[in-house]
Structure 1
Amino acid sequence: MTDKRQTPPVDWAAAAAPSLDDLERLAQAAFARLPEPFRALCADVIIRVDDFPDDETLDEMGCETEFDLLGLFRGVGLAQGGSTPRTGQLPNMIWLYRRPLLDYWADHDETLGHLVTHVLVHEIGHHFGFSDEDMEAIEAAAG
Structure 2
Amino acid sequence: MSDKSSLPAGWTGTAPDADALFAMAEAALETMPNVFKPHISGVVIGIEEFADDETLASLDIEHPYDLTGLYEGRPLTERSIGESGGMPDRVTLYRIPILVEWIEMGEKLEGLVRHVLIHEFGHHFGFSDDDMHALEDMA
Length-normalised TM-score, structure 2: 0.82
Residue type at the aligned position of 1:80: E
Look up the match of 2:67: 69
Report the CA distance shift for 1:134/1:35 in structure 2 as closer, same or farther (over 3 A): closer
Root mean square deviation, CA, Å: 2.7
How many angstroms does 1:113 deviate by?
0.4
Please give the per-residue CA displacement for 1:76-123, whole angstroms capped at 9, x wherever unaligned.
111011776533x22100000000000011100311000000000000
CA distance in 2, matches of 1:53, 1:75: 16
Classify the secondary structure of the residue corresponding to 1:67: helix
Paired residues of 1:85 and 1:91 also in contact (CA < 8 A):
no
1:42 to 2:35 alignment: no
Match of 1:95 among 89, 92, 102: 92
Match 1:111 to one of 108, 111, 117: 108
Q: Distance in 1 between matches of 2:90 and 2:102?
A: 23
Indicate the percent of aligned positions where both proteins have the same amino acid.
38
TM-score by length of 1: 0.80
Structure 1 stretches lacking a partner, 5+ long: 1-5
Larger RCO of the pair (alpha carbons < 8 Å, separation 6+): 2
Q: Displaced runs of 4+ in structure 1, greater than 3 A?
A: 82-87, 131-136
Equivalent positions of 1:1-143 (< 5 A) are 15-81=13-79, 86-87=84-85, 89-132=86-129, 135=132, 138=134
Larger Rg: 1
1:84–1:128 distance in 2 versus 1, CA, 3 Å? farther
